[in-house]
């Protein structure tokens, strides 16, 4: 079933769900548990995107059990990536306008030429417009996976707010899409937040009582200044499908050195917990912490006290965080630079680029590079996506890893198959092909 999806052309996967290809044999496997909790896939998400992920990361299959393929920034991504970029751009005179909302962009799409002509904004509560010429460049982030996200606190839940309101990113894309078919179909992604939501929380330890339970699971010192969990720890029997991770501490530059910041998330926000018998979306930060403490082995008579006095937990509800995983077809996301566009481009997870996978930093950067290079005629190639799917060595290695290291020659097969394999191996004896197959433990 995995190979069938891997080999299927994109056209066969339009508007198909993962469950259209995988049955319980895959969905109940360790492979799917690793995969879905690392990438936040749900069973009903896009088979097309699942196939792209399989092909994009096939060379990392062997790293799934210990997450050796993952790389992390020194601090959180805002302080490590966004803030330095903002400071760099400000140093060149770039102006950032905060408290400003783009409510619409007007286009002239007559005669095969597409031009952005006006940006409507709401600035400090006042409606304003910016008229555009063909020589102005407009880069549009359409849609938004964090729209309607809400924060709770130690003693209040993060409110689930699924209703999309006028003036948000999805409303903007709807207004843009109504002006030309090439601008995509936003409602393919945001029509049902019950299919695209999950929750996360940050748990900050306030003393040393929780630390030994983390050490017991991770087998590492969380204060070592290194990535402690190596990736995500998943509680496989959690009703919320709870996962947690401890990146390099401190995660924030001003974080006290004797505190830990743990990131926790759950994919099933509507199911009652195993210890806290409430859906995750109805829980306060303290209650989410209690559920986590229960799963990492804290004695039940100490759980509430630790969650109250030894930690501060801030939950975050994200109704559209998985919107880009919803089943889609060609044209549902606009091309980065639509055909005929002269002064605008689309950026981010809801713009279409070849082969790369969404929900990654690289995808956002790639769309930006393509947009700038195309509109400004920059004579420089956008770096190619790692070509693992076209590299026979990666495919051989992944095949063996998917079989838990077992050689092809160990496969159970009828006598006729065994004889055929024996003959085939004789023919490649002493060749580069035999050498290659042995090097990657295929035979």
Give the pair of three-digit tokens for residue 92: 């060149």
The correct answer on CATH 3.40.50.970 for the domain covering 198-318 is: no
Calpha distance 292→264 (Å, rounded): 8
Cβ–Cβ < 8 Å for 232, 265: no
Q: What confidence tier does 388 reach under pLDDT thresholds 50, 70, 90?
A: confident
Residue 303: how many other CB atoms lie within 10 Å: 18
Q: What pLDDT sits at residue 69?
A: 77
Question: Which ranges in 210-284 belong to alpha helices (H)?
Answer: 211-218
Calpha distance 257→248 (Å, rounded): 12
For the chain, residues classed under CATH 3.50.50.60 are 97-190+323-356
Alpha-carbon torsion (267, 270, 273, 274), positive or negative: negative
Q: What pLDDT sits at residue 209?
A: 98
Calpha distance 81→73 (Å, rounded): 8
Q: What is the pTM of this model?
A: 0.91
CA neighbor of 26 nearest in space, from 48, 47, 52? 47
Q: What confidence tier does 252 reach under pLDDT thresholds 50, 70, 90?
A: very high
Chain segment 137-184, per-residue pLDDT in tens: 999 999 999 999 999 999 999 999 999 988 899 999 999 999 999 999
CA neighbor of 95 nearest in space, from 117, 118, 123? 123
For the chain, residues classed under CATH 3.30.9.80 are 198-318
> Is residue 360 packed enough to be buried (19+ CB in 10 Å), middle (13-18) or exposed (0-12)?
middle
The correct CATH number of 97-190+323-356 out of 3.50.50.60, 1.10.3980.10, 3.40.50.300, 2.60.40.10 is: 3.50.50.60
| Res. 298: pLDDT tops 90 | yes
Rg (CA), the chain: 25
More confident: 249 or 61: 249
Residue 78: DSSP 8-state: I
């Amino acid at each position: 079933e995995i190979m069938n999806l891997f080999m299927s052309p994109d056209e066969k996967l339009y508007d198909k769900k993962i469950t259209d290809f995988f049955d319980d044999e895959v969905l109940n496997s360790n492979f799917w548990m690793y995969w879905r909790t690392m990438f936040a896939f749900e069973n009903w998400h896009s088979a097309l995107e699942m196939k792209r992920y399989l092909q994009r990361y096939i060379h990392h299959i062997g790293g799934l059990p210990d997450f050796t393929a993952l790389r992390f920034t020194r601090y959180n991504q805002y302080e490590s990536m966004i803030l330095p970029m903002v400071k760099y751009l400000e140093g060149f005179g770039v102006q950032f306008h905060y408290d400003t909302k783009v409510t619409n962009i007007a286009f002239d799409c007559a005669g095969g030429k597409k031009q952005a002509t006006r940006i409507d904004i709401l600035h400090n509560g006042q409606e304003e417009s910016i008229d555009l010429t063909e020589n102005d460049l407009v880069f549009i982030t359409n849609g938004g996976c964090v729209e309607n996200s809400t924060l709770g606190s130690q003693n209040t839940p993060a409110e689930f707010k699924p209703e999309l309101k006028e003036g948000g990113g999805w409303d903007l894309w709807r207004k843009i899409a109504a002006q030309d078919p090439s601008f995509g179909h936003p409602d393919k992604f945001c029509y049902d937040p019950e299919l695209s939501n999950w929750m996360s929380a940050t748990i900050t330890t306030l003393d040393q009582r929780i630390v030994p339970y983390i050490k017991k699971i991770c087998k590492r010192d969380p204060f070592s200044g290194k990535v402690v969990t190596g990736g995500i720890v998943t509680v496989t029997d959690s009703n919320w499908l709870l996962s947690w991770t401890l990146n390099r501490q401190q995660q924030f530059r001003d974080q006290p050195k004797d505190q830990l910041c743990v990131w926790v998330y759950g994919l099933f926000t509507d199911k009652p917990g195993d210890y806290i018998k409430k859906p995750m979306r109805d829980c306060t930060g303290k209650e989410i912490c209690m559920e986590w403490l229960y799963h990492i082995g804290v004695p039940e008579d100490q759980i509430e006290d630790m969650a109250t006095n030894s930690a501060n937990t801030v939950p975050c509800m994200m109704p559209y965080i998985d919107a880009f995983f919803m089943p889609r077809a060609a044209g549902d996301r606009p091309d980065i630079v639509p055909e005929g566009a002269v002064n605008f481009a689309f950026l981010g997870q809801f713009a279409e680029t070849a082969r790369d996978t969404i929900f990654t930093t690289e995808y956002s950067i790639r769309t930006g590079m393509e947009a700038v290079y195309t509109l400004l005629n920059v004579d420089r190639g956008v770096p190619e996506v790692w070509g693992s799917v076209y590299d026979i060595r990666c495919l051989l290695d992944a095949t063996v890893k998917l079989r838990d290291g077992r050689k092809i020659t160990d496969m159970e097969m009828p006598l006729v198959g065994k004889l055929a394999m024996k003959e085939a191996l004789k023919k490649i004896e002493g060749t580069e092909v035999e050498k290659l197959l042995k090097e990657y433990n295929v035979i």
